[in-house]
Amino acid sequence: MTDVRPPVGLVDSGKGSNPIPAGGVAPEAEFDVPSGLPAGTPTPRAGDARLARLSLNQRTTANWNLREAIDGTVAAGLSSIGLWREPIAEVGLATAVGWIEASGLRVSTICRGGFFTTADPVERRNAHDENLRALDEAAALGAPTLVLVPGGLPEGSKDLVGARSRAAEAVAALALEAKARGVVLGIEPMNPIFAADRGVVSTLAQALDIAEQFAADEVGVVVDTFHLWWEPGVEQQIARAGAGERIVSYQVCDWITPLPADTLLSRGMMGDGHIDFPAFTRAVATAGYTGDIEVEIFNAEVWAAPGAEVLATLARRYATLVHPHL
């Protein structure tokens, strides 16, 4: 990491504070992305025990293909990665499996299955079959969890109760299929900002109401700070999830305001927004979760930054805001 520098246009040089010492270029100068602010702490490097559970969700470095994401994750000293199906499909499953095995990385999750709120019988069957393929991929890659994003209201429908009911039915149809493959389904409750068009399961309480209809080695829940930070009583729901051994993934990123114009890309780097990561993380740790912790950030500015700088920033933020509270 000798080429770390502030992203163009993101550092306010008008404040009179020049991050470059008078003596010349400081080789250790590092800057957070996307804020452009000087790094508040040294970057944890390969071998640093604090990185043991940190996982890069591949969408955080959306401009990297699978090869680059694997290499970047290894280079940053992480031992885990959360993979998305589209970049796997680009190279083919067998190649992806080979690369992952050669890399030594764990696959923390496969993102994503779900999208099963349709009322149309043919579409339901297609969605089910697609989820079976996703489960096959998760099993082949050794991922313990397939993340399920339920999907939004079907086109033209305003029946949210019905869509939620069908999502639960679709989970039921997949539960034993998942277990047979050694994969646990992870229902991801999503911020209500996405209730209409992306995910009709809106709270951890609601996700647990579904998951608890099945065995814990069949269906669990994904605990994502962005989606759940606002939920009244979320600490109690996290405890409930932990008591039932239902937490299959802990994902972190921040809620920033003002929201970017494209709300799908409104996630921020931990520390750049309003979420209390120490308190949230303590709740997850107290609930007994010992798995990997993914950083998943959909954000145009993050995507525009060099992947290595994104990884360095998220490792620093994780080391200060998350790891001490595990």
Judge residue 60's burial from the number of C-beta atoms within 10 Å of its C-beta, 0-12 exposed, 13-18 middle, 19 or more buried: buried
Residue with smaller CB distance to a second copy, 85 or 323: 323
CA distance 196 to 10: 34
Q: Is the separation of the CB atoms in 181 and 172 below 8 Å? A: no
Residues in binding contact with a second copy, number by CB under 8 A: 31
150 touches a second copy (CB under 8 A): no
Could you tell me the smallest distance in angstroms from the CB atom of residue 260 to a second copy? 8
215 touches a second copy (CB under 8 A): no
Stretch of residues binding a second copy (CB under 8 A), selected from 33-41, 169-177, 260-268, 310-318? 260-268
Instruction: Tell me which of 43, 60, 203, 299 binds a second copy, using CB under 8 A.
Output: 203
255 touches a second copy (CB under 8 A): yes
Q: What angle do CA 28, 32, 35 make, to 5 degrees?
A: 145
| β-bridge partners, 252 | 295
Helical (H) or strand (E) element with 55: strand 54-57
155 touches a second copy (CB under 8 A): no
208 touches a second copy (CB under 8 A): no
Q: Is the peptide bond before 154 cis (omega within 30 degrees of 0)?
A: no
Residue with smaller CB distance to a second copy, 64 or 226: 226
Stretch of residues binding a second copy (CB under 8 A), selected from 86-94, 110-118, 154-162, 241-249? 154-162
Cα 108 off chain centre by: 10
Could you tell me the smallest distance in angstroms from the CB atom of residue 230 to a second copy? 4
Distance set, CA 298 to CA 63, 84, 202, 315 (Å): 11, 13, 19, 17
Region 270-289 residues binding a second copy, contact defined as CB under 8 A = 273-276, 279
**H helices present in the chain, as ranges:** 66-75, 85-91, 93-103, 121-140, 160-180, 204-211, 225-228, 234-243, 277-286, 300-304, 307-317
Region 167-196 residues binding a second copy, contact defined as CB under 8 A = 191-193, 195-196
263 touches a second copy (CB under 8 A): yes
Residue with smaller CB distance to a second copy, 110 or 322: 322
- Give the residue from 292, 94, 111, 108 showing the smallest Cα distance to 190: 111
Could you tell me the smallest distance in angstroms from the CB atom of residue 258 to a second copy? 8
Q: Is the separation of the CB atoms in 61 and 307 below 8 Å? A: yes
Residue with smaller CB distance to a second copy, 77 or 151: 151
Q: Tokens 């303590």 label which residue? A: 282
158 touches a second copy (CB under 8 A): yes
Could you tell me the smallest distance in angstroms from the CB atom of residue 13 to a second copy? 24
Instruction: Tell me which of 180, 230, 236, 286 binds a second copy, using CB under 8 A.
Output: 230
- Give the residue from 237, 241, 226, 240 showing the smallest Cα distance to 297: 226
Residue with smaller CB distance to a second copy, 90 or 230: 230
Residue with smaller CB distance to a second copy, 176 or 196: 196
159 touches a second copy (CB under 8 A): yes
Q: What angle do CA 211, 286, 180 make, to 5 degrees?
A: 35
Chain residues binding a second copy by CB under 8 A are: 153, 158-160, 164, 191-193, 195-197, 202-203, 205-206, 229-232, 255, 257-259, 261-263, 273-276, 279
